[in-house]
Amino acid sequence: MPFSSLVDSLMQDTLGVSLPLFATELAICATIVLLLLFRLLNLDQRIPGAVLALAGSIAGLGLAVMQHLQYSQEADLVGQSVEIFTGLLIYDQFTIYLRIFLMLFLVLVVYLTMLGGIPDREDAPDFYVLLLGSTLGMLLMASANHLLIVFLAIEMTSVPSYAMVGFLKGRRQSSEAALKYVVYGAGAAGVMLYGISLLSGLLGTANLPELAQALTALGGADSALDQPSLWTLSLAILMVLVGVAFKLSIVPFHFWCPDAFEGASAEVAGYLSVASKGAAFALLVRFCLAMTGSAVPAGDLQTVFVHLGFGIGIIAAISATFGNLAAYTQTNIKRMLAYSTIAHAGYMLMAVAALLVILGSPDAPDGGAQRTEHAIRAVSGLLYYLVVYLFMNLGAFAIVAIIRNQTFSEQIEDYSGLVRQSPALAVCMLACMFSLIGMPPLGGFVSKVMVFASVFKSTEYYWPMWFILSAGVLNTVFSLIYYVNVLNYMFFKPPREHLEPVNVPLASAYGRYALLVTLPVFLLGVMVNRIDDVAYSASASLKSFSVPVVANHDNADPPRQSVRSTPAIPAPVEAATPVSGG
Amino acid sequence: MDPQTYQSTGEMLRNLLTLAWLLPLAGFVLEVFAGYWSHRLSRAAAYSAVFCIAAGFVCSFAALMYWGHQTHWSALESHASPADHHDVLKYFSGTYYTLAEFGKLRIAIDYHIDSLTLVMFTMVTLIATMIHIFAIGYMSDELTEHYEDHQVHTAHGHFHRPGRFYMFFAYLSLFSFSMLGLVLAGNVFQVFVFWELVGVCSYFLIGFYFERKSASTAANKAFIMNRVGDFGFLIGLMILWTWFGTFQFNERVESDANGRDVVMPGLFDMLRDDHGNVTVLPANDHDSYARVFLADPGHSGALKHEGHKEGKTMPYFLLVVAGLGIFAGCVGKSAQFPLQTWLPDAMEGPTPVSALVHSATMVAAGVYLAGRFYPMFLPEVLLTIAYVGCITLFMAATIAVVATDIKRVLAYSTISQLGYMMLGIGVGGWTAGLFHLITHAFFKSLMFLCSGSVIHGCHHEQEMPKMGGLIRKMPITAYTMLVGVIAICGLAIPGISIFGIKIAFSGYHSKDAIIATAMTFSQLNGSHFLLFVVPLLGAGITAFYMFRLWFYTFIGQPRDHHVYDHAHESPVVMWAPLIVLSFFAAFVAFKGEAGSLFKLLLDTEPASVAHGLHDVGLAGDLNFPSHVGIEENHKAAGLYALLVAVMGTTLAYLFYGARVLNPAEVKRQFAGVHNFLVEKWQFDILYDAAFVRPVHVIAKWFVAFDRNVLDGFLHATARTAVSIATLDRRFDETVVDGLVNLVGNVTYDAGRSLRYVQTGRLRQYVMFIVLGVVGIWIVMRLFAA
């Protein structure tokens, strides 16, 4: 092939295909450039950076929603995925779902920072450049199709977050938290990079779909993989997972989390707790599916995946337990919410564990006919959880920020008697807390049920998953205590006298914001199907599900179509998907 | 009309009427809070009420015009006979909202629009607008912080309270909404809902001066008497629901599970075929009941074209009971015999209320429903209706002769006229009855407003023996009243006509129509001759007592100089509505049965009426007159009625105008009869003895039973429950709480100890990364091995 035609095809790929599908990210990039330019030309005195950032993020959200609408309007697009930028990124409904999730969250956070006055006008462009840059990294995480992008995206997410944690420059605590976060992040990144190099070295490629192929080739029935390299492989996978686990603040890679959250402002903490979680879970799901590939080979490799899944499950259970128990004695609400974040990451990780077990296990009920359906359910449960988590956690952090702006306190005991001063805020907080616990009829209940249902399904594939399930259920009970403790202060204790009373009526900007964020928590608990259908089709669009997942000794039954009105999973085409570039 | 035009017309009409219907509700919401939102002395509430109902009138009138335009006024063409064009649906119906569905059974908020609906809407909104405006003047003494009620005596003199001007208009608006909803309703259940709503509005309005014992008693009486009628209504509804499974008047198209259109017939479609006939299966050896055939839902086609002989049936007598039950509701609402006693007492309410609720609209709702529900009435039921109307009209007319309170005379007159309407419907004069409803609404509301004007002018003096000669003080009131009086008496100038049009006011035409129908009916059914004689006699009595009222009030020398000297004409806001209404009272029935109002109503007439019915009923001996038959008797009937009315008028003039005869003389002569009439035929005494006292006695027994037996049992149960609860609590506190606390303490301690892991030392943290990776890996190895 002559070089010119190579360049032509590259141009065609980039300009004709990739860039239009990359519109959301481009909008963010453009906003960042504008922010910096305005700063340079002193235009930010006239147009505040916050407004610009809000406009940019709304534009990004609009573009993402348009992409979603395109999918929902054209039936033959459903389930299609496109590899863009010569296979570095992948564009499918899963990507779009996460894009909408992240952009919606970004809009809400930017609006919250506008209301709350962090950052001040002088620093605003810097702050929003960091915020948008970090979100850009997350968007890349959600659509990564290559180990290089995986690493780049995680770094791109992390580096601005370090700065954002330390953004309250005057506060010693803030700087300390930022430093801890940086060093810890660097350590985690190092480990991850090492894992990536091991993995691509072993398998000879860094492209995720190709990883699966290479694994299938290596670990076929005649197992070309000897024991030591098998263990090296598992170590490599583990190391890559560490990078993700750091972003997810999973035990034992969570140490940065309480310190960073306590040091950062509530807005930043809320941002870190939700957005990075969403992106990291998307990445984790993609990575895990790439590892298991379209067909899990029998033998040692298969047990590796089941064990990996179960191992992740155990870590998830430990995370949830640790997070919940450690939250008991916290007196600072942000620290408490940090531990709560760890616990929720644990719950969500259980869905990933269930996914791996379902895909990997040799003993499937019904001869594995429902395997794909169950796997899709596990992912869609996770996606639904993320949306609910967005609102309930952002709601909690937003209320913390609002109260901080009034009382300058973040101590739980200073929330005493809130219901008498600002009943609207107290009720919103009540809804968020109950949703975090998982009380019906709020969104937290539904999402937890979905995740636990997946874990329950996975027990049919691999019985030790019962332990994970019982740990999850038990943890729900544990978590009750510390959430209710906050409510106890807010509703039953008299207000503390030395503090400014919190005066936030529902009709104020703060009150409306709290309501805006809390209302979906109700709606997601009552009207499940709308979002769940979207989450389901997003999950079903993942490439690995487009081809039937068959363990080699199972009968190759095509996956049974689900009863619900979800897009049909395309019939099996070829065993391997075409590879473009890499 | 092609289906598309039909649909768009229906939607337009629905939108207009819905707006007219809901505006007063919006007004009510606004006004009921007006006391808080604005100053108590502000007239804003009144203006909002007037605006809402006036806008409603505009919408209703526009709807009527639009309907006429779309149908090319086919209803008004003289050759149009209702049977001629049944290929075109003459009504528009549909569903606003489905309340509940139980399998095939379904309760919904429907609408049903035909010419009757449109005429009623226009009439109700027009009269209500006039009365609202009148009330601004009449109720203006409520615009104060310290309203002194002269009729309520407390230990410290008269009773004082803040004025309730805005509340009055809020109630009026709520009433207007309810009344319009009743007319718009597309199923009988919805009718019942609004039936109760107008009932409760009437209760509020009668009891507007609820501090007066007489007013609150009257309100209770009205409410309770209506409950008696509604009890029958409910029984009727239950029977219909059980046998028909629908409340809908007319058919409705619905998609079934396969997406095909299925026609779900309404009550009328199920019972009657296209010609309005009912198929009756007489009692035979197998079945001791006569039965009526009903069309099945989804298979109405069979019944549509010719009566069918197979399928679902229901006992004939149950349908009679259902009809009587529904009619019982009408009896209560329209104050017919034997539930008529509440209406005279309802005059305790302010006069605009009497004009709107208790003469023009709500009490006419009973007649309206009897008309609307006409297809469901079997001949026996119709005969009952006719006799009830007949008794009522005579009884009320006789009482009106001796009543001296100006409003009570009008109240008895209302009852009597409602009796005429019922009689008209009962003898098969469907259009005649409803025709009289509309004309009566105009002239009776006019007369009530005039009486209100008199009462207002005479400083709340209502006794006619204290009035007299008021025509000199309040000429406008007197002359507009005279228009109403002539209209109700049915006076006309016989033989002379200008351009072929009779010189007569509206009442002449409508009463004429009823009497002609009654006359034809009694010719066809000789044994029921009373149904003609009594209304004819009644027409004379009507003329007598109405002119008695007018002469008493306006003519001759004043009887009480104190009242006379202070009397004055009412302000323009009160007399302007009188002028408007008197115009309509005179000319609404312009050209009589050739006129547009009659033709409009005729358009909705049920199919079975026009050609009459022969040898119907279970005994097969009832005949109902056809249009042609009535037409033959029309001239004679008109002449008789006019003759009688002129006689009544003359008599009244001799007694009260010229004062040639002395009424006191007559009173002495017939003291027994007089007393009987003054005591309202002894009904109140009878009801007290027959119902109120026995209820008191039984209630006492129940109280005793309750105290001694039921309470004792309840107390014992409660004591047992308390002792069990005490035991349970002990168990709870020691065992359950102990366990829970144990678990709680353990987890809490665990949580506390976890705190020490988070040391805050950075070096340790980074160490943990490495330790974590290696540790997990080793554990995995061990586990896998």
Domain ranges of chain B: 378-678, 684-772
CB contact under 8 A, A191 and B769: yes
CA-CA distance, A214 to A498, in Å (whole number)? 66
Side by side, which strands form the sheet with B280-281?
B280-281, B291-293, B313-315
Of B381, B442, B459, B447, nearest to B412 (Cα)? B447
Identify the segments of chain B with pLDDT beneath 50. Answer: 79-87, 300-308
Residues of chain A predicted below pLDDT 70:
1, 219-227, 293-301, 546-582
Element (H, E) at B314: strand B313-315
**Tokens at A529, concatenated:** 């199907």
CB contact B748 to A (< 8 Å): yes
Joined tokens for residue B148: 């002194």
Considering only CB atoms, which chain A residues are within 8 Å of B783?
Answer: 307, 311
Query: Is B751 an interface residue toward A (CB < 8 Å)?
Result: yes
Rounded-to-integer distance, Cα A440 and Cα A521, Å: 11
The answer to whether residue B727 neighbours chain A at the CB level (below 8 Å) is no
CA distance A206 to A87: 11
8 A C-beta contact, residue B70 and residue B1: yes
Q: Are B751 and A180 inside 8 Å of each other by CB?
A: no
B205 touches B169 (CB < 8 A): no
Examine residue B606 and say whether the peptide bond preceding it is cis (omega within 30 degrees of 0). Answer: no
- Closest among A89, A78, A161, A120 to A536, alpha carbons compared: A78
Q: What is the CA radius of gyration of chain A?
A: 23
CB contact under 8 A, B751 and A327: yes
If we measure between CA atoms, which residue out of B382, B389, B369, B445 comes closest to residue B179? B369
Instruction: Write a three-state SS string for A337-373.
Output: HHHHHHHHHHHHHHHHHHHHHHHHCCCCHHHHCCHHH
Bridge partner residues of B153 (DSSP): B158
Contacts of B768 in chain A (CB under 8 A): 252-253, 255
Q: Nearest-CA neighbor of B571 among B136, B235, B162?
A: B136
B257 touches chain A (CB under 8 A): no
> Residue B250's pLDDT is what?
81
* pTM metric for this prediction: 0.58
Amino acid at A190: G
Peptide bond just before A119 cis, omega within 30 deg: yes
Tokens at A434, concatenated? 């109950």
Whether chain A has a CB inside 8 Å of the CB on B37: the answer is: no
Separation of alpha carbons B232 and B322, rounded Å? 8
User: Quick one: pLDDT at residue B498?
Assistant: 66
Is B785 within 8 Å of chain A by CB?
Answer: no
Q: Whole-angstrom Cα distance, residue B176 to residue B352? A: 13
Token representation of residue B638: 């008109």
CB distance A184–B769 less than 8 Å? Answer: yes
Q: Which residues pair with B110 in a beta bridge?
A: B95
DSSP state of B405: B
In this predicted structure, what is the pLDDT of residue A220?
A: 54
Distinct helix (H) and strand (E) counts, chain A: 22, 2
From A304's Cα to the closest Cα of chain B, the distance in A is 8
Nearest to A105 by CA among A431, A476, A520: A520
A 10 A CB-CB count for B726 gives 10
Q: Any CB–CB contact under 8 A between A180 and chain B?
A: yes
DSSP A499: S
A235 in reach of chain B (CB within 8 A): yes
Instruction: Find out whether B184 and B117 touch, Cβ atoms under 8 Å.
Output: yes
Exposure b/e, A479-506, CB count within 10 A at least 16 = b: bbbbbebbbebbbeeeebeebeebebee
Question: Cα dist. B345→B109, B213, B411, B688 in Å?
Answer: 34, 12, 9, 15
Say if residue B671 is exposed, middle or buried (CB neighbours under 10 Å; 0-12, 13-18, 19+): exposed
Whether residues A326 and B775 touch (CB distance < 8 A) is answered with no
- Give the percent of chain A with pLDDT over 70: 90
Answer whether B745 touches A (CB < 8 Å). Answer: no
At a CB cut-off of 8 Å and minimum separation 6, what does A493 contact? A413, A416, A417
Whole-angstrom distance, CA of residue B661 vs CA of residue B551: 14
CB B515 within 8 A of CB B532: yes
Shortest CA distance from A173: residue in chain B: B760
- CA quadruple A213, A217, A221, A226: dihedral sign: negative
Beta strands (DSSP E) in B481-566 are 492-498, 501-504
Nearest to B517 by CA among B535, B493, B494: B535
Please indicate whether, in this complex, the C-beta atoms of B769 and A307 are within 8 angstroms of each other.
no
Query: Is the bond preceding residue A520 a cis peptide, omega within 30 degrees?
Result: no
> What chain A residue is nearest to B747 in terms of C-alpha separation?
A325
Cβ contacts of A478 on chain B, cutoff 8 Å: 747
Per the CB < 8 A criterion, the answer to whether A347 and A451 are in contact is yes
A231: closest CA of chain B, how far (Å): 8
3-state secondary structure of A498: coil
For residues B524 and B769, give the distance between their C-alpha atoms in angstroms, rounded to a whole number: 109
Q: For the segment B558-583, what is each residue's pLDDT rounded down to a tens digit?
A: 888 888 888 888 888 888 999 999 99
Would you tell me how many other CB atoms lie within 10 Å of the CB of residue B713?
A: 10
Cβ neighbours of A481 in B, within 8 Å: 744, 747-748
As a whole number of angstroms, the distance between CA B299 and CA B312 comes to 11
* Cα–Cα distance for residue pair A505/A503, rounded to 1 Å: 6
Which amino acid is located at A522 in the chain?
F
- Per the CB < 8 A criterion, the answer to whether B40 and B166 are in contact is yes
The single residue listed with the structure tokens 């000789």 is B526
- The rounded distance, in Å, linking the Cα atoms of A326 and B751 is 5
Dist. CA A474–CA A149, nearest whole Å: 38
Nearest Cα to Cα of residue B115 among B592, B601, B606: B601
Measure B576 CA to nearest chain A CA, in Å.
Answer: 48
Element (H, E) at B382: helix B379-402
Q: Which amino acid makes up residue B40?
A: R
Which token pair is A128? 């929003």
Q: How far is CA A75 from the centre of its chain?
A: 27
Neighbouring C-beta atoms of residue A39, cutoff 10 Å: 16
Partner B, chain A 37-76, Cβ-Cβ below 8 Å: none
Q: Please tell me which of the candidates A187, A259, A304 has its beta carbon nearest to residue B760.
A: A259
DSSP B10-23: HHHHHHHHHHHHHH
Q: Which positions ≥6 away from B191 have C-beta within 8 Å?
A: B182, B185, B369, B372
Find the residue in A nearest to B772 (Cα). A252
Nearest CA in chain A to B750: A325
Alpha carbon A54 to its chain's center: 22
| Strand pairing category for B291-293 and B313-315 | antiparallel
b/e code B167-194 from CB counts within 10 Å (16+ = b): bbbbbbbbbbbbbbbbbbbbbbbbbbeb
Cα atoms in the 13 Å half-sphere on the side-chain side of A95 = 27
* CA atoms of B286 and A124, how far apart (whole Å): 94
* Cβ atoms of B563 and B466 closer than 8 Å: yes
Burial of B89 (0-12, 13-18, 19+ CB in 10 A): middle
- pLDDT tens, residue by residue, A118-173: 777 778 888 999 999 999 999 999 999 999 999 999 999 999 999 999 888 788 88
Q: What are phi and psi of A411, to 5 degrees?
A: -85, 140
